Structure 1
Amino acid sequence: MTHVLVLGGTAEARDLAARLDAKGVPLTSSLAGRVSQPRLPVGPVRVGGFGGPDGLARWLREHDVGAVVDATHPFAATMGAHAAAACDAVGLPLLRLARPGWADHPDAATWTWVESHEAAREAADRAGGTPFVTTGRQTLHHHVGPWARREVLVRLVEPPEEPLPQAWTVLRSRGPFEVAAEEALLRDHAVGVLLTKDSGGRYTQAKLEAARRVGVPVVVVARPRRADGVTEAVDAEQATRWVEQVTSGR
């Protein structure tokens, strides 16, 4: 049977790997390696980068891959571009498994949507109060300088990559979160504005409902553009059907 590469690290990728494994589809899941204790999918796993699109194309050829599913985080735009370029070079079908974003959330029209983390910081400055930053540790460098003396609440899965200002409070935790707990967190830390990004999904959505209940304004960084012309699925069930279709004749 055709070997499938799943570019993973998300709940959707783990769901897909379990479904494909149950059907006896040979697969390898690839993780970026940025989390020290990741949730692992079933089946073979490789960890680390490929060395750009050329390195990925070489890996696809060497491992006789017949199809690729990009199920990385919605903000992993670089990996998505590398996958598109590598699959184009090798001539392989590529699927983007993209969980729906929060644009259709009932409160989405009340949020401030921005295109960059710098714009998010500026919007937070206008809102005032203590910012609650939930955009991930790789985005913190956008705020460290301008907010060096400001009280900031940050939530991270992994420790920060660089020292943060003394006025900042860092919470280490991983979702899913409950609305009641998120509401208590916003009140206990007197949060004035929530900074997040359009990750979508249910794992971290509770903070949005909590913000509405408490009356905390929300600033959302929109998703980056992805490569045009790539077939998309919104869940693992759709992705499984796609794999079955494209590999049936291989």
Structure 2
Amino acid sequence: MEKQTVLITGANKGIGLETARQLANAGYHIYLGCRDKERGYEAVELLHSEGLNDVELVLIDVTSEESVQQAYNELAKRINYLDVLINNAGIPGDFPQPASNTPDKTFKDVFEVNFFSVARVVRIFVPLMQNAPNPRIVNVTSDLGSLTLHSDPTWRHYDVKTAAYGPSKSALNAYTIALAYELKNFRVNAVNPGYTATDFNNNQGYKTVEEGAAPIVENAMIDKDGPTGKYFSDYGVTPW
């Protein structure tokens, strides 16, 4: 039986790399989407050294239309269709991010990677997914994108307010709903890995990368009767 294929953006380290590791262990063929060739090859070699040989590098800078199109063209030569797209690439932006005094550049930089780039990758890669028996898109989000949780003073992260990062994930969540509605034959969900210790947050999170990747992997493996247009964390459905 032919292995299912997965493209993961921002996959050379952290949660993206661990997601690749877990899915490769589960029998998927992984395309490791990386912006930096050297770091990408290092990540591929690391997984190969662990016996995970069904991992290949795909160079992709999600902020560049030309780069994303080149990545699409390259994959379209290798495979008939892509089964799973995991939009993992993201940035926190410069901190602090006070609502009343965050520079325009921070907003633009964060939204470019966390929101506009996801829409760009989806737009370009959906044609390669249309013929898959069960196409799935996972948009990696954050619970900091939940307006409901941010409005609850008892929430453990209530005081973590970010003018750019959180709203970029709220926008991603809204986009996920619209995308799931349009792509009726796809399973499209937003998945929150939780506060995971990676370079993204100077390794301050209380979850391991294994724990952070787990809900992403679980959602990437859902069948064609699985949920779509939902917002998940490791504890289940997250309130919008």
TM value normalised by structure 2: 0.47
Q: More strand per residue: 1 or 2?
A: 1
Q: More helix per residue: 1 or 2?
A: 2
Q: Larger radius of gyration, structure 1 or 2?
A: 1
Q: Which has the higher contact order (CA 8 A, sep 6+)?
A: 1
